[in-house]
Chains A and B, each alone.
Chain A
Amino acid sequence: MLDCAIIGGGPAGLTAGLYTTRGGLDDVIMYEKGMPGGQITSSSEIENYPGATQRNLSGMDFMIPWLEQCQRFGLKHEMSEVTRVSRNEDATFTIHKSDGSTNTAKSVIVGTGSTPKRAGFSGEDKFFGRGVSTCATCDGFFYKGKEVAVIGGGDTALEEALYLAKICTKVYVIHRRDTFRSAPNTIERVKKTSNIELILNASPQEVLGDAMGVTGLRVVFKDGSTRQVDAPGIFVFIGRDVNNQVLIQENGSFLCEMNDAGEVIVDISMNTSVPGLYATGDLRIAAPKQVVSAAGDGAVAALQAIAYVDKISHH
Chain B
Amino acid sequence: MGKYVELTASNFEEITKEGVALVDFWAPWCGPCRMIAPVIEELANDFEGKANICKVNTDEEQEIAVKFGIRSIPTILFFKNGEMVDQMVGAASKQAFADKINALL
Query: Which residues of chain A have C-beta atoms less than 8 A from B38's C-beta?
Result: 34-35, 79
- Is the CB–CB distance between B70 and A33 below 8 Å? no
Query: Which residues of chain A have C-beta atoms less than 8 A from B39's C-beta?
Result: 33-34, 79
C-alpha spacing A131/B71, complex, angstroms: 6
Interface residues of B in 47-75 (CB under 8 A from A): 58-59, 65, 69-75
- Is the CB–CB distance between A133 and B71 below 8 Å? yes
- Is the CB–CB distance between B59 and A138 below 8 Å? no
- Is the CB–CB distance between B70 and A41 below 8 Å? no
Query: Which residues of chain A have C-beta atoms less than 8 A from B96's C-beta?
Result: 81, 98
* Count: A-B pairs, CB below 8 Å: 95
Residue of B nearest to A99 (CB): B95
C-alpha spacing A58/B96, complex, angstroms: 28
A291 CB to nearest B CB, Å:
13
Instruction: Given the known inter-chain contacts A35-B34, A79-B39, A81-B93, please indicate yes or no for A139 contacting B72, CB distance below 8 A.
Output: yes
Residue of B nearest to A39 (CB): B31
Please tell me the size bucket of the interface on B: 20 to 34
C-alpha spacing A59/B35, complex, angstroms: 13
Query: Which residues of chain B have C-beta atoms less than 8 A from A212's C-beta?
Result: 69
- Is the CB–CB distance between A42 and B70 below 8 Å? no
C-alpha spacing A142/B59, complex, angstroms: 10
- Is the CB–CB distance between A141 and B27 below 8 Å? yes
Instruction: Given the known inter-chain contacts A79-B42, A99-B95, A130-B72, please indicate yes or no for A37 contacting B35, CB distance below 8 A.
Output: yes
Residue of B nearest to A34 (CB): B35
Query: Which residues of chain B have C-beta atoms less than 8 A from A249's C-beta?
Result: none
Q: Is B37 an interface residue (CB 8 A)?
A: yes
Query: Which residues of chain B have C-beta atoms less than 8 A from A79's C-beta?
Result: 38-39, 42, 94
Q: Is A128 an interface residue (CB 8 A)?
A: yes
C-alpha spacing A81/B70, complex, angstroms: 26
Instruction: Given the known inter-chain contacts A33-B94, A35-B38, A79-B94, please indicate yes or no for A138 contacting B71, CB distance below 8 A.
Output: no
- Is the CB–CB distance between B71 and A233 below 8 Å? yes
Q: Is A135 an interface residue (CB 8 A)?
A: yes
Which of B29, B70, B75, B92 touches A58 (beta carbons < 8 Å)?
Answer: B29
Closest 3 CB pairs of A and B: A41-B31, A129-B89, A81-B93
A interface residues, Cβ below 8 angstroms from B:
33-35, 37, 40-43, 58-60, 79-81, 98-99, 128-131, 133, 135, 137-139, 141-142, 212-214, 232-233
